[in-house]
Amino acid sequence: MMNAANSSARPSGSGALASRPPAHRRIDVVRPRIESAVKALREGATVCVIEDGPAGAAFAVAAGALCSGESVNAMVAEAGGIIACTVSDRRADQLDLPEIPRRKCRPSTPRYAVSVEAATGVTTGISADDRARTTLVMCDPSTRATDLVRPGHIMPVRVDENGVLRRPFGCEAAHDLVHIAGLPDGAVLSHVIAGTDDLDTDAAARFAEERGWPVVSVADLIDYRATHEVLVRCASEGVVQTHAGDFLVRVYENTVDLGAHVALVWAGDGPEEGTTPLVRIHSQCLTGDVLHSMRCDCGDQLQVAMRSVADARTGAIVYMAQEGRGIGLANKIAAYALQDQGVDTVEANLLLGFDADHRDYAVAGQILRDLGLTSVRLLTNNPEKVDAMRRLGIDVLERLSIEVIPGEYNRKYLQTKRDRMGHLLKTLD
């Protein structure tokens, strides 16, 4: 592994990504889709929410507070799945709707709670009118736990208070859309199925378009919220003297993961006129950054990034509290144990029940905007970071690689990054 003090390890430019369109074009595409879906929800119509990726589910979604027997019948006929209603964790606790224990399910599986029925105004509970009545009661802010009986014919789905910014899945997106529409919280929804199978995302989009339903993806909701809401605030700041020079340290709190993230902003002499700020988005790595582990490249990348920003005399390192690609320190060490048995980093995360990369960059994008860094050169080997920043309104003018020389203990780790996660690593060739 490269010594962090090796001055020859400097970022190299990449012109391929520099020619791609700036992020605001992506945002300009997303905004009309959200606005179309919001308008439909306010009118009591149905929209389609699609999860990202080939295994993502699709949902028919309507505003729970505008539910009717006719809309329930139509959703059953068109979508074909069970009828459910979203409820925030806080509200679910108030209504005494405990989550059904989850076993051996995917992270995206809806978090169903015990089924319910309205305590009054229903007969058998199964009719479309009865299910609409139960949904209306669930979405009424004045409803108390005693206004619902259990079990029933509507499945509540518990969603995180922060929606797609905490859990990037379809039920959270449906709940967020209804909230953005300014309606009482709670989306009525059903999986879109065909015969006995879920539709894949492309087929679901065609299915929705044939019915005139606006189509919104979970990624659309994440991008929209991350560019239309203020999610971070600077809690404190102060100058720190480092081996690379003086950096202003700004500590950010946020409403997404409730963690504290840090920005190291160059505080030394200013750059040459017209120099674009150099930025590194670095995920916290205790083993690499602090313990100097040789099984990853994180610590070396951090040192190189600090020297590179100092050389440029402009820019910042956004240090994200996303240990182990977002799975946390305890799970990361558990993943190490699995890797010692022969699996790679991707397989280890999957075996532990996580995605290959569990990180999210919405907060990083907001921190950069708070710093006024909306046009940057990005130090990264990961094209997904470039795409994420552009989606979030950060104009990435150039990607610069930040590689280390492979060593005995991190070669397989780096190969997995290249071969399974698409990182651009030339030193392995």
- Report, as residue numbers or ranges, the catalytic residues: 357, 359
In which residue are the tokens 């003018």 written? 397
322-339 burial string, b = 16+ CB within 10 Å, else e? bbbbbbeeebbebbeebb
**Residue 38: partners with Cβ closer than 8 Å, 6 or more residues away:** 177, 180, 181
Hey, what's the torsion of the CAs at 306, 307, 311, 317, to 10 degrees?
A: -10
Report yes or no: 154 and 135 within 8 Å, Cβ to Cβ: yes
Strand pairing report for 315-320 and 278-283:
parallel
Q: Shortest CA distance to 378 belongs to which of 323, 270, 301?
A: 301
d(CA 283, CA 276): 22
In which residue are the tokens 């992020």 written? 23
In which residue are the tokens 């651009």 written? 424
Report yes or no: 381 and 401 within 8 Å, Cβ to Cβ: yes
